[in-house]
């Protein structure tokens, strides 16, 4: 959850809407996660987003339970649950009754990344947009400048995806919206999220469900708040 990986080689393929390979099996935990993500995946199918699901046999150091990867023109939704201590700990601080909504928010976050990638908007600003404080990120020279720019671009994408997650929650689980936004804000406030995953300015803009304008999709609903976050500077 809440990070993207770009790779052309990921193992243990399990394709959405197709049978698992012969002999392959999912753990009870993996089944729960996939069922929780089901409404989001069904929505992505209706939009014809090219998504494959990948279940890793063993989580590596630092792996998050759910992440997104890109391979050519396809998105890879990667589950790294086996042996991953974060697989359940990620839900610490949110009531049991709202955990299903939180799991859907995780999936919606990743689908937000996929939507941006498939539509050729990855790391792109809105047309004609110049964000506040751009000179700060472009100051310096050499590797530092490149690293600062890369972090800034990734942070924008994480902010957009968090807003997609909250827009999804506002539409589909309004009764749990306050709990989910509080939980997400707490996750983003942790020291480990500094840098590309420091999206609190965007999360706080969506503190009230009415902050989202009526729009066709959660991506459209997220767009105006995302722009507002860019205008306020980083």
Q: Is the pLDDT of residue 193 over 70?
A: no
Predicted local confidence at residue 72, as pLDDT: 92
Predicted local confidence at residue 62, as pLDDT: 86
Least confident span in 75-79, 81-85, 180-184, 189-193: 189-193
Of 74, 91, 108, which closes a domain? 91
Of 58, 91, 124, which closes a domain? 91
Of 76, 91, 106, which closes a domain? 91
In this structure, are 35 and 86 located in the same domain?
Answer: yes
> Which residues form the domain of 203?
98-231
Instruction: Grade residue 84 by pLDDT with cuts at 50, 70 and 90.
Output: very high
Torsion of CA 120, 121, 126, 127, to 10 degrees: -20
In this structure, are 162 and 183 located in the same domain?
Answer: yes
The Cβ of residue 234 has, within 10 Å, a number of other Cβ atoms equal to 17
Predicted local confidence at residue 18, as pLDDT: 30
In this structure, are 225 and 134 located in the same domain?
Answer: yes
Higher pLDDT, 132 or 186: 186
In this structure, are 62 and 152 located in the same domain?
Answer: no
pLDDT in tens, 62-72: 899 999 999 99
Predicted local confidence at residue 75, as pLDDT: 97
In this structure, are 37 and 148 located in the same domain?
Answer: no
Question: Which ranges in 6-141 belong to alpha helices (H)?
Answer: 28-46, 86-89, 99-118, 134-138
Q: Is the pLDDT of residue 15 over 60?
A: no
When the pLDDT of each residue in the chain is averaged and rounded to a whole number, the result is: 84
Predicted local confidence at residue 168, as pLDDT: 98
pTM of the model: 0.84
Q: Is the pLDDT of residue 182 over 50?
A: yes
In this structure, are 110 and 86 located in the same domain?
Answer: no
pLDDT in tens, 212-221: 988 899 999 9
The tally of domains found in the chain comes to 2
In this structure, are 213 and 165 located in the same domain?
Answer: yes
Question: Which distant-in-sequence residues (6+ apart) come within 8 Å of 25 by Cβ?
Answer: none
pLDDT in tens, 115-158: 999 999 999 988 877 755 554 444 444 555 788 888 889 999 99
Q: Mean pLDDT across the stretch 85-113?
A: 95
In this structure, are 120 and 68 located in the same domain?
Answer: no
- Rounded to 5 degrees, what are φ and ψ at 198? -85, 85
Predicted local confidence at residue 202, as pLDDT: 95
Instruction: Grade residue 14 by pLDDT with cuts at 50, 70 and 90.
Output: very low
Distance between the two ends of the chain, CA-based, in angstroms?
A: 23
| Secondary structure of the chain in HEC code, one letter for each residue | CCCEEECCCCCCEECCCCCCCCCCCCCHHHHHHHHHHHHHHHHHHHCCCCEEEEECCCCCCCCCCEEEEEECCEEEEEECCCCCCHHHHCCCCCCHHHHHHHHHHHHHHHHHHHHHHHCCCCCCCCCCCCCCCHHHHHCCCHHHHHHHHHHHHHHHHHHHHHHHHHHHHHHHCHHHHHHHHHHHHHHHHCHHHCCCCCCHHHHHHCCCHHHCCCCCCHHHHHHHHHHHHHHCCC
In this structure, are 8 and 78 located in the same domain?
Answer: yes
Q: Is the pLDDT of residue 181 over 80?
A: yes
In this structure, are 84 and 103 located in the same domain?
Answer: no
In this structure, are 84 and 106 located in the same domain?
Answer: no
Predicted local confidence at residue 194, as pLDDT: 63
- Note whether 54 and 26 are within 8 A (CB): no
Predicted local confidence at residue 20, as pLDDT: 35
Predicted local confidence at residue 164, as pLDDT: 98
In this structure, are 52 and 85 located in the same domain?
Answer: yes
């Amino acid at each position: 959850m809440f990070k993207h990986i770009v790779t052309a080689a990921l193992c243990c393929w399990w394709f959405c809407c197709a049978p698992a390979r012969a002999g392959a099996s999912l753990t009870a935990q993996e089944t729960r996660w996939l069922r929780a993500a089901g409404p989001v995946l069904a929505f992505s199918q209706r939009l014809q987003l090219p998504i494959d699901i990948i279940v890793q046999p063993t989580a590596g150091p630092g792996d998050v339970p759910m992440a997104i990867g890109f391979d050519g023109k396809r998105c890879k939704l990667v589950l790294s649950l086996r042996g991953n201590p974060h697989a359940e700990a990620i839900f610490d601080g949110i009531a049991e009754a709202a955990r299903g909504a939180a799991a859907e928010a995780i999936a919606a976050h990743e689908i937000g990344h996929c939507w941006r990638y498939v539509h050729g908007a990855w790391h792109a600003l809105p047309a004609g947009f110049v964000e506040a404080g751009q000179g700060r990120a472009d100051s310096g020279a050499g590797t530092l400048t490149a690293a600062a720019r890369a972090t800034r671009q990734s942070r924008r994408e994480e902010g957009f995806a968090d807003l997609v997650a909250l827009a999804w929650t506002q539409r589909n689980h309004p009764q749990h919206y306050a709990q989910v936004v509080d939980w997400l804000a707490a996750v983003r406030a942790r020291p480990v999220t500094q840098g590309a995953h420091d999206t609190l300015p965007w999360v706080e803009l969506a503190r009230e469900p009415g902050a989202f304008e009526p729009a066709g999709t959660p991506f459209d609903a997220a767009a105006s708040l995302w722009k507002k976050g860019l205008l306020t500077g980083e």
